Amino acid sequence: MGQDKSMKKIVFILLSALSILGKCHAGNSQGAYEAMFTFGDSLSDTGNYVGFHDPSDIEVLNKLPYGKTFFGKPTGRFCDGRIILDFIAEAYGLPFVPPYADVIHGKVQNIRQGVNFAVAGATALDANFILSKRNQKPIKTMESLDVQVGWFKKLKPSLCSNEQDCARLFKKSLFFVGEIGGNDLGLLGFNFSTAGETIPLIVEAITNATITLIEEGAVHLVVPGNPPMGCTAGFIKSGLSKDQYDSRGCFKRLNTLVELENKEIKQAVSELKKKYPHVTITFFDYYGAANQFYDAPQKYGFSEMLKPCFVAKACNDTAKTYTCGFLCENPATYTNWDGAHYTEAAYKIIAQSVIDGHFSHPPLKHPLKKIA
């Protein structure tokens, strides 16, 4: 009996200690985010393109080696593993943000911790506008930023039940408006002679989406610039004269164009900050964050920064196995996954930079744990 009693006491003490620990833990997490709502293109897509598009369009993406490093299977991410949003979700103790397509198809129950609306190929500008500028030459993705924001508005009544409830949810929610705007440049031909006209429009579309989200109740927003696309394997034109490339081998013209766009996005964000002083809008310098590893690849364990780790090539068109392509031995030593997208290893460094504040102005709230 006596022993039993003391056991009970120990159990009780343990439980109290645990509950205090629990409270400390809750105390630490106070102020952190409890949901993520995200918009963008293939650099942020976690399954919307595969969820909404014709499977014949996406044969490669639906097979390994996509997902091989982390998930062990393809997930609709254009990556060998986790992307930036996944690392950020982990850091704040959140689940991987489910794609809106899975919500629509009834595969996701809990949407209170976030939804990802990003679709590969998406543009900041309305897709029909892009089509008109391309003389109707087709594009694959019609789900541009305005469409994605429209999905969010449509979903909102299922997210929260009334103004008070929505305010409570959004007070703790982190919104990512992009990155987006790289596809616009690409689909319009990376054209310098029209950039003076198109870049302000692209930035206006991003600004419009940000304002809509603020009006819908968002109070913590991240608006990223675009990465140095001139260092992205799939965009580097080969065989040009040497002066077209910088000392790292990146295609200068493209980077200059992205820099112009980023400068205007940053400017637009600083104007939004003045206009909406009650919300926190972080400009994330994606370009600078990615340049960390392009400038010093060895420091991050990369031995190859311009060639892709995976080049898909079907050796048998019927079987569509893609095994006749190239697959690098260790994706962690490559920055580029499949030509147009980063490897998990590269995304991890960029995600770290989103959180730690060197490239986020202002920095995000303290995460529960470090990205590892």
Ligand X SMILES: *[C@@H]1O[C@H](CO)[C@@H](O)[C@H](O)[C@H]1NC(C)=O
CB of 193 to ligand X, least distance (A): 5
Nearest to 348, CA basis, from 80, 93, 94: 80
CB of 183 to ligand X, least distance (A): 15
Q: Which of 16, 256, 270, 316 binds ligand X (CB under 6 A)?
A: 316
Q: What is the DSSP letter of 57?
A: G
- Residue 204 touching ligand X (CB under 6 A): yes
CB of 335 to ligand X, least distance (A): 27
220 is catalytic: no
- Residue 319 touching ligand X (CB under 6 A): yes
Asked if residues 368 and 26 have their Cβ atoms less than 8 Å apart, the reply is: no
Of 48 and 144, CB closest to ligand X: 144
Kind plus residue range of the DSSP H or E element containing 7: helix 2-29
Mark the segment that binds ligand X (CB under 6 A) among 157-165, 222-230, 243-251, 316-324.
316-324
Which one of 41, 80, 86, 338 is the catalytic residue? 338
Query: In terms of C-beta density within 10 A (0-12 exposed, 13-18 middle, 19 or more buried), how is residue 327 classed?
Result: middle
Which one of 42, 44, 144, 173 is the catalytic residue? 42
- Residue 330 touching ligand X (CB under 6 A): no
Size of the site for ligand X (CB under 6 A): 11
CB of 188 to ligand X, least distance (A): 8
CB of 200 to ligand X, least distance (A): 9
Which x/- pattern over 208-237 shows residues binding ligand X (rule: CB under 6 A)? Answer: x-----------------------------
Asked if residues 32 and 89 have their Cβ atoms less than 8 Å apart, the reply is: no
Q: Which residues contact 126 (CB under 8 A, 6 or more apart)?
A: 144, 146, 205
Which x/- pattern over 155-194 shows residues binding ligand X (rule: CB under 6 A)? Answer: ----------------------------------x-x-xx
CB of 205 to ligand X, least distance (A): 4
* CA dihedral sign of residues 138, 259, 195, 238: negative
Asked if residues 254 and 229 have their Cβ atoms less than 8 Å apart, the reply is: yes
DSSP string of 316-344? STTT---BTSEE-S-GGGEEESSSSSB-H
Of 104 and 201, CB closest to ligand X: 201
Structure tokens at 146: 């305005």
Q: Which of 318, 329, 369, 372 binds ligand X (CB under 6 A)?
A: 318
Asked if residues 130 and 148 have their Cβ atoms less than 8 Å apart, the reply is: no
42 is catalytic: yes
Q: What is the chain's length?
A: 372
Q: Which of 60, 205, 223, 289 binds ligand X (CB under 6 A)?
A: 205
Q: Which residues, listed in sequence order, are joined to residue 282 by a DSSP beta bridge?
A: 222
338 is catalytic: yes
Asked if residues 339 and 369 have their Cβ atoms less than 8 Å apart, the reply is: no
> Where in the sequence numbering do the catalytic residues fall?
42, 338, 341
Binding residues for ligand X, rule: CB under 6 A, are 189, 191, 193-194, 201, 204-205, 208, 316, 318-319
